[in-house]
Structure 1
C-alpha cells in the first residue's frame, strides 16, 4: 500500500468516526436548546445590551477639552457613574430576556455553576464581543478625531506591574460577580430593592477604585471593543484573564461554599458518610444508602435542565 492509499484510508476512518459521533447524538446533546427562537432572542439581547453599554460607558471617557490649553483631567466620578448606571439600566431592560449578562466573566461564572450550558455560553460571549465592537465602532465614528485620545482603551498604570494590575482586575470582578450571585439568589428571602441597581453600584464601585490602576475593565468584552477598533492590545490579556478568574472564583465560593444549594448538600451527604469514629469518609457508589422517599427517581429522570430556557434566562 503506497503513501497516497494510506492517507486516503486514514481520511476515510476519520470521516467514519466523525459520522458515528454525530449519529450518537453528541452534537445534539451539546447544542440542545440552541436552535430555538427564544434562545436567539436571548443572544440578540446580549448583543444589543453590550452595544449600548460600551457606547455609553466608553463615551464617558472622552475628554472633550483635549487639545485646549490646560485641559482638566478625566472626571473619575462621571465615568464610574456612567458605567454603573448604564449596566444597571441594561440589566433592568434585558434581564428577563437573556439574563442580562453583558459580560463574558458573568457568563463564565454561570457556566461553572451549571446555570448555563457551555454551548450556549459560547454564543453569548460571541454576541457580547460583537456588540462591544459595534458599540465602540459607532462611538469612534461619531467622535471627532481630535478628542478621541486613548478612546477608553484599558491599560495598566505605568507605576504598577502587570501582575499587580491582574490582581486588581481579579478583585474588582470578584466583587461584581459575587454581588450578582448574592442579589439574585432565589434561595434568599431577605432580598429587597432592585438587583439591577445593586449590580450597577458594584460596577461603579469597581470603577471608582480601579480606574487609576487598570482603567477598571471588569468586563473582557468592554475592553475588547475599543482595543479592536483602535488596534491597541497592550497588556490586553489581563483584561480577559483577570475578570474571568475573578468571576469564576466568586461564583465557586458563593455557590459551593457560602450558600450551597440544598441539592448539593444532599448529594454531598450521600457521598460522604460518618464512620464509627465519627469521621467523614468517601463512600463508594454501591455503598450509598438512600432513605426511602428521599429521592424521586421518576421526577429526576424526567427533569431536563436544558429542556426550557431556564438556564438561558438565568437572572443576574
Structure 2
C-alpha cells in the first residue's frame, strides 16, 4: 500500500523545489495559453464543429507533449492539479508540494488567459461548459473517466518501473491521450481533465457555469487512477534490511 507523503517546511526552502515551482508555472502558462488560444481561434474563424474539435484536440495534444517534456526533469511537468493529486495518491508527490503546485498552476492559468484577452483585443476566453443536453451527472462521469485514462497513462508510461520500451516516450503518449480524450468527450463535457485549464478562462470571462464539475470530476478521476495503479499494478521489490551483526 502506497503511503502519502506529507512533506515538511524544509522542503519549501530547497533550491530544487523553488526551481520546480518556477518551471511548473511556466509550463502551465504555456499549456493554457496554447489550449485556450486554440479554442479562441476556432471561435473567431468559421468552420465545421468537427473541424474545430479536431483543431483543438491537436493543439492540446502537441502542447501537452511539449510542456510535459520541458518540465519533466525539474517539476515533473504536471501542468494539472489532477495529475498532481494522482501522483500524490501514489506517494510520488508530498502534500506540501501538491498545495503549492495547485496555487502555482491556477495563477499561471489565470495569467495566461489574461494575456490572451489583452493580446486578442478583448476576445472572450471561453469557459468550458457542458454540451447541450448533457446533465451534471453525465458530465461528471465523463470527466472522471477521461481524467482516469489520463492518469493511468501517466503512471503506465512515466511512473511504472516496468515501462520498458516506453521509457522516454511518456510525454508524447500523454499528449496523445489528451488529444484523443478531447475528440471523444469534447462535445459532451468539454473534456477538460484539468481544473487549472477550466479555472483560468472562467475567471477572466467571469463565467462559472458548471465549474464545479471540472474540479470534482478530474480530481476524483486523477486521484482514483493514482491510487489504483500504484497499489495494484506497480510491483516494488523489497530488499532485506541489513542485520546488526553484518556490520561487524
TM-score (structure 1 length as normaliser): 0.70
CA contact (8 A) 1:129 1:225 kept: yes
**Structure 2: segments with no counterpart, 5+ residues:** 1-5
Match 2:155 to one of 177, 181, 205: 181
Match 2:140 to one of 148, 159, 166: 166
Distance (whole Å) between structure 1 residues aligned to residue 68 and residue 104 of structure 2:
16
CA contact (8 A) 1:183 1:191 kept: no
Q: Confirm or deny that 1:211 pairs with 2:211.
A: no
Q: Confirm or deny that 1:31 pairs with 2:9.
A: yes
Distance (whole Å) between structure 2 residues aligned to residue 297 and residue 248 of structure 1:
38
Match 2:205 to one of 230, 233, 242: 230
Question: 1:161-185 CA deviation, whole Å, 9 max, x = no partner?
Answer: 1110000000010111100000013
Match 2:240 to one of 282, 290, 294: 294
Aligned to 1:86: 63
Match 2:80 to one of 67, 92, 103: 103
Distance (whole Å) between structure 2 residues aligned to residue 225 and residue 205 of structure 1:
22
Range that drifts further, 221-230 or 55-64: 55-64
Q: Confirm or deny that 1:62 pairs with 2:40.
A: yes
Q: Confirm or deny that 1:143 pairs with 2:89.
A: no
Structure number, greater radius of gyration: 1
Q: Aligned in 2, Cα 1:296/1:245: closer, same or farther, shift over 3 Å?
A: farther
Question: 1:50-69 CA deviation, whole Å, 9 max, x = no partner?
Answer: 11111111100114674x9x
Q: Confirm or deny that 1:129 pairs with 2:106.
A: yes
TM-score (structure 2 length as normaliser): 0.89
- SS of residue in 1 equivalent to 2:32: helix
CA contact (8 A) 2:134 2:189 kept: no
**Structure 1: segments with no counterpart, 5+ residues:** 1-27, 264-292, 299-316
Distance (whole Å) between structure 1 residues aligned to residue 243 and residue 91 of structure 2:
21
Distance (whole Å) between structure 2 residues aligned to residue 65 and residue 88 of structure 1:
24
* Deviation, structure 1 residue 190: 2.6
Q: Confirm or deny that 1:50 pairs with 2:50.
A: no
Q: Which has the higher helix share?
A: 2
CA contact (8 A) 1:254 1:260 kept: no
Distance (whole Å) between structure 2 residues aligned to residue 240 and residue 65 of structure 1:
25
Distance (whole Å) between structure 2 residues aligned to residue 164 and residue 297 of structure 1:
56
Distance (whole Å) between structure 1 residues aligned to residue 71 and residue 24 of structure 2:
8
Distance (whole Å) between structure 1 residues aligned to residue 164 and residue 17 of structure 2:
31
Q: Aligned in 2, Cα 1:210/1:125: closer, same or farther, shift over 3 Å?
A: same
Matches within 5 A, 1:194-273: 194-263=169-238
Structure 1 consecutive aligned stretches of length 4 or more whose deviation exceeds 6 Å = none
Aligned to 1:313: none
